[in-house]
Amino acid sequence: MKLGGGKGGGGIRLAEGGAERRNQQFQGALFITFSRTVIVTVLSTIITTMFAYGFSRDYLKGKRFYLILGFLSMYISGGIIASFLVISLFGMYNTYWVYIIPWLFGGFYNVIIYNSNFKAIPGELYESARLDGASEFKIYSRVVMSLSKPVIAALAVFTVVGVWNDYQTTLFYTESGGLKTLQYYIVQLVHNANALEALKTSSAAGNAEIYALLQDAAGPTSSKTIELAAIMVASVPMIAMYPFAQKFFTQGMMVGSVKG
């Protein structure tokens, strides 16, 4: 009887406390992922396009060195251990900055795409801007960025998707529960649900009381339901973003299609 009373009163309070804690974890993970995605997308786009603009100019000193360095970075990587050592050396391990600073440069792949687009802009526009007294930064911000919106939007979407879906940074470079990203939280949620489902299956034929406790703990939802709900939660922001970026994709496909 005492066992039953404890299960009825304390069990309900425990379940309510667990649900509240999970809600707080979910909200924290959502905030970290959303804020990180916005910050990285904006800063990465600015930094990468600035580098690509300088790289697209023929008068850039040391261009061959940057070219070799960029291509080497595309095919040679230090791996997880080297990245971990660098991140720890700069004090970013288990901090929010590990989600921002290592992602600020979009990679040499994006530089190549931006470089091709910037070189396609007629040289007369650059010369006209210089004759009007525009500095390099003003040419970059007023001319280059204005005429490159389609390709910038396209690569920004890829950046958003990559950052939003990233969970390995949390797995390798953090240990605090308050620094979980949404994707890592979802992965943990699905794994826990699958483990509970397997435990219920193994205990069903062995101990009816344990099975009943596990059934109460799991609630009416199955691991498959949680998995599908997690996929939906992770996909909705990407689906909602696409209509706003679609016109830029269309413009990007139409660039160069009409001559004369």
- Cα 203 from chain centre: 39
Task: Identify which of 181, 175, 161, 170 has the alpha carbon closest to the alpha carbon of residue 27.
Answer: 181
pLDDT 10s digits, 92-116: 999 999 999 999 988 888 898 888 8
Those residues of the chain that have pLDDT short of 50 are 1-7, 10-12, 14-15, 253-260
Whether 113 and 55 have beta carbons less than 8 Å apart is answered as no
In a domain, 1, yes or no: no
Residue 15 lies in a domain: no
Domain for residue 237, yes or no? yes
**For residue 223, what is the domain's CATH number?**
1.10.3720.10
Say which residues have a Cβ less than 8 Å from residue 95's Cβ, sequence separation at least 6.
179
The vertex-88 CA angle with 85 and 93, nearest 5°, equals: 130
Assess if residue 3 is contained within a domain: no
Domain contains 7: no
149, 164 Cβ separation under 8 angstroms:
no
The answer to whether position 5 is within a domain reads no
Q: Number of structural domains, the chain?
A: 1
Measure the CA–CA gap between 128 and 132, rounded to whole angstroms: 6
For residue 131, the enclosing domain spans 20-254
What is the pLDDT at residue 253? 46
Buried b (16+ CB within 10 A) or exposed e, 220-242: eeebeebeeebeebeeebeeeee
Does residue 250 lie in a domain region? yes
The CA R_g of the chain, rounded to the nearest whole Å, is: 25
Q: What integer pLDDT is reported at residue 101 of this predicted model?
A: 92
pLDDT at residue 259 in the model: 44
Quote the pLDDT of residue 249.
Answer: 61
The pLDDT, as a whole number, for residue 80 is: 86
In a domain, 259, yes or no: no
